[in-house]
Amino acid sequence: MIYLVRMDVNLPADMPAEEAGRIKAVEKEYSQTLQRQGKWAGIWRVVGEYANYSIFDVDSNDELHEILSGLPLFPYMDIEVIPLAKHPSDIR
């Protein structure tokens, strides 16, 4: 199952820079592990925003929820999930 996911990150203004840097480093490792597994199929920065659009290729809603709720930045994110179905004009 393919999902388009938008993540907006809102770190508290009073979060110490060292703590923010630590969480971002753990987030990067978490994301790159899932990318190597093929579950996190792509990630793009939204120009001018602390946000990304990502594509996930996972087995179920439950698996996606587990992945998203396990993000180290999850407590500081607004997340929008758009499930994608095969388009009838897709030639693949």
Ligand X SMILES: O=C(O)CC1=CCC(=O)O1
- The residues that touch ligand X, with contacts defined as CB under 6 A, are 7, 9, 27-28, 31, 52, 73
Q: How far is the CB of 54 from ligand X (least distance, A)?
A: 7
Q: How far is the CB of 45 from ligand X (least distance, A)?
A: 7
Question: Nearest CA to 57 among 67, 49, 47, 48?
Answer: 67
Cβ proximity to ligand X, 38 vs 88, nearer residue: 38
Cβ proximity to ligand X, 28 vs 65, nearer residue: 28
Cβ proximity to ligand X, 20 vs 73, nearer residue: 73
Residue 14 contacts residue 79 (beta carbons within 8 Å): no
- Phi and psi dihedrals of 82, rounded to 5? -120, 110
4 is written with which tokens? 């388009």
Q: How far is the CB of 17 from ligand X (least distance, A)?
A: 15
78 is written with which tokens? 């607004």
* 3 state DSSP class of 78: strand
